[in-house]
Structure 1
Amino acid sequence: MFLLAAVAVFAVFFANVALGAFGGGGFLNDVGEMLVLFAASVLFVAAILKREADHKKNNGS
């Protein structure tokens, strides 16, 4: 769930950067871009930590 959310938030970031690169003008300002990228990073880290915890729980380590 966290990983899908991270991918979705990163897709918003990527779409904004791609629109800006092709001259369409992004829909987020610099601070908005930073916050979206930060949210994607936090969600990705949460997904990795959850997966690691599940792995440890299933293997009994």
Structure 2
Amino acid sequence: MFLWAAAAVFIVFFANVALGAFGGGAFLGDVGEMLVLFAASILFVVAILKQEADHKNKNGS
């Protein structure tokens, strides 16, 4: 679930960067872009840590 959320937030970030690069006008400013990328990073870390905890519990270690 967190990995899908991270991917969705990253797609928003990527769309903003792509629109800005091709002259379409980015819909987020610098601070908004930073916050979206930060949220994607945090969600990705949470997803990886959750997977690692699940794997550890599954193996009984």
Paired residues in the alignment total 61
Summarize deviations over 1:1-23 as a string: whole Å, max 9, x none.
00000000000000000000000
| Paired AA for residue 40 in structure 2 | A
Identity of aligned residues (%): 84
C-alpha RMSD of matched pairs (Å): 0.2
TM-score (norm 2): 0.99
Q: 4+ runs of 1 displaced by more than 3 Å?
A: none
- Equivalent residue letter for 2:43: L
Structure 2 counterparts to residues 16-55 of structure 1, below 5 A: 16-55=16-55
Runs of at least 5 residues in structure 2 that lack an aligned partner in the other structure: none
Deviation of the 1:45 alpha carbon: 0.1
